[in-house]
Structure 1
Amino acid sequence: MKIVNWNIEWMNNWFSGNDLPVWGSNTLSAPAARQTAGRVARVIRALNPDLLTLQEGPSARAEMALFLELLAEDGGPEFEMIMGNDGGAQKLFALRRVGGLCESFGLSTDPLTETLRDVWLADVNGDLLLESYEFTRAPLVISADPVAGQPVRIVVLHTKSKYVHRGRQLFDNPATRPEFIADAMLARRRISAEAFRLRSYLDALVAEDSGARVVVTGDFNDGPGQDFFERSYLTHNVTDILLGSTFYPDLIYTHGFLSRVSAAALFTARFDDFVDGVLDRPLLLDHFVISPALAPEVRDGGIAHHAFDAETLRMNGKREDRPSDHRPIWIELGLPLSG
């Protein structure tokens, strides 16, 4: 069973009308929106996923359905959808290819999963006071039933963004740099709070059932290595939190493709890093994290550079010149899932 995850840049800007959607918006003309969607559709067709999980999906099911109609044109694959409730104009989605190796899927509604929607106490603003906090976007948790295999729990995650409004302007001015640092630290504390909360859920799944078959995927807004804030302000590396502690080896999750991709290709996005002064910095923001029992069944995985590059005219041009600002990632689960 092939699982593809992709943060598709602001799909909501492709549409107007919500439940009665049409192509185009105040941001993109109808032709530009269809051109962008066409690039995305061709990448998805090239990857041919059995299960496709998305971040930054549109705000309405009918808008996603309009895109799926375009995807199915000229004999393309048909997909069924599950949409997350949270995220406003950046919804989480899971899509099942009809006739593929994912026989069925549905929302996970067990009591443990339902607690992910509860508030908890955390000090996200650094004032040393614990206050109520909840996910910016609650993870979308589904159960996928592979053909001739056991169910797999898929957790789709899109953590709080690190983006700071007018960040570069604030950072470059010594007088306003403290304001930037404060806003950046608030975002990172919120991301850390969400990572720790999700990690407690992952621990509980394995503690409850050592054979738990779990995949966590999505845009974690963080990756390997330590950025300026982790080095100097002692914030946390989100991916390290989700993978687990070496003090509890039986609970450690495995990265889905880290060891399968060359160092030069180990990125899913490229952005200018004005804090460290690195232009067009390659960043690994999107991940698969696999539970201990399922890890041996990961047959392969990677970052879909070839399919993405084939549909990219230029990254810094018009929106319709690229499929997204993130590249898709994928894993393939083998025996006994595929028989």
Structure 2
Amino acid sequence: MRLVTYNIEWFAHLFDDADNLMLDDQSSGRYGVDRYTQGRAIAHVLQRLDADAVMVVEAPNTGRKQRCTRALERFAAEAGLRTDTAVSGFATDTHQEIALLYDPAVLDVEADPQASKRAPRFDDSFLIDLDVDDRMDRVRFSKPPLELQVRTKGGMALRLIGAHLKSKAPHGAETAEEVARISIANRRKQLAQAIWLHRRIKEHVEAGENVIVMGDLNDGPGLDEYERLFGKSSVEIVMGAELTDPHAQSLLKPREPVLPSTSRFYNPETKRYFRALLDYIMISHGLEAYGPHWRIWHPFEDAECYDDIPLREALLAASDHFPVSLDLELT
């Protein structure tokens, strides 16, 4: 079985207000890439992945007229994908949903949001003292995680959680001091969301469930200078002792010579690209018995992706993130 997480940059820009796919020469959300090129590239990548399920981060919008699942299923039909059924969770106001495209011949999937005293439902509020002032702060997700109950045709039950954590840029800051203050406050909120998510994960693991957390955590050990103020990254908090991901764990090792990455961004000031490890598939330890194999489909780090020129070009045109796959010996 192959599971994939894939952040597809501004996927929503490929659809009109009625969720009709627009493949033309107009600009997409990708800089320098038209909608035809991006749409064809996404289709090529998803065809090549041939996954049983894809957690789509930055999926098309759900709003007054639009519906994320309808857009994804229309795209899957146009691209001829066997992952032709979509499920999403709580809608966001960001035009970037979290949704799962899956093959119904392989998996039964149901949205199943949870709630407990320690970890409220993800469309609710989470109370935590962010700044250690003996006053509780109210935290909300701008992109509530997607909680799914999944069963394979062979009868294996899985708990999948799709996540997109994000620490907002310091908008409105005019001085270095304001940048630091807002950045620290935003990082506190992101870490609070990570704690909230980890509490849910821990509850499922303690209940004996097989848990898989997939998505873009927008963070990693050593990602920025603000991490030193808090001791841990949100990736470490989410993973805790309950989950494992070899890519995340490689960042915890001292002096690791070559670090993996899942994304590539252009810095207009330096006129150079920089790389980051942001996308993860974390599994509970019980799933380690099923021969897990992780792969980052990075066109400049994976030799097979680089040598396959059509795939390489499609990966670069489709998104600024690259897919991460997990193969498990499950039926």
Give the partner amino acid of 1:95: L
Give the partner amino acid of 1:294: L
Correspondence 1:32-71 to 2 at 5 A: 32-59=34-61, 60-61=67-68, 62-71=70-79
Q: Does 1:148 find its partner at 2:154?
A: yes
How big is each residue's C-alpha offset from its partner over 1:117-166, in whole Å with a ceiling of 9 and x where there is no partner? 33121345787632222222111011222232411110000012443448
Deviation at 1:304, TM superposition (A): 1.0
Q: Does 1:84 find its partner at 2:89?
A: yes
Unaligned runs of 5+ in 1: 171-175, 245-250, 316-320
2:213 match: 216
Q: CA RMSD in A?
A: 3.4
Secondary structure class of the residue paired with 2:141: coil
Aligned length: 308
TM norm structure 2: 0.80
CA distance in 1, matches of 2:250, 2:233: 21
CA distance in 1, matches of 2:205, 2:22: 44
Correspondence 1:223-242 to 2 at 5 A: 223-231=220-228, 233-234=229-230, 236-242=232-238
Structure 2 CA distance for partners of 1:268 and 1:128, relative to 1, 3 Å: farther
How big is each residue's C-alpha offset from its partner over 1:87-125, in whole Å with a ceiling of 9 and x where there is no partner? 2300001011244xx331111245558733331213457
Correspondence 1:100-111 to 2 at 5 A: 102-111=106-115
Q: Does the aligned pair in 1 maintain the 2:213–2:282 contact within 8 Å?
A: yes
Give the partner amino acid of 1:160: K
1:289 match: 282
TM norm structure 1: 0.79
Deviation at 1:278, TM superposition (A): 11
2:17 match: 17
Q: Does the aligned pair in 2 maintain the 1:15–1:24 contact within 8 Å?
A: no
Structure 2 CA distance for partners of 1:202 and 1:98, relative to 1, 3 Å: closer
1:252 match: 242
Q: Does 1:268 find its partner at 2:268?
A: no
CA distance in 2, matches of 1:243, 1:125: 23
How big is each residue's C-alpha offset from its partner over 1:195-231, in whole Å with a ceiling of 9 and x where there is no partner? 0011111111222x2x310000100001233521112
Give the partner amino acid of 1:205: H
Which range is displaced more, 262-271 or 81-90?
A: 262-271
Quote the sequence identity (%): 24
Give the partner amino acid of 1:271: F
Correspondence 1:147-186 to 2 at 5 A: 147-165=153-171, 176-186=175-185
Secondary structure class of the residue paired with 1:290: strand
CA distance in 2, matches of 1:203, 1:109: 15
CA distance in 1, matches of 2:290, 2:250: 14
Which range is displaced more, 104-113 or 184-193?
A: 104-113
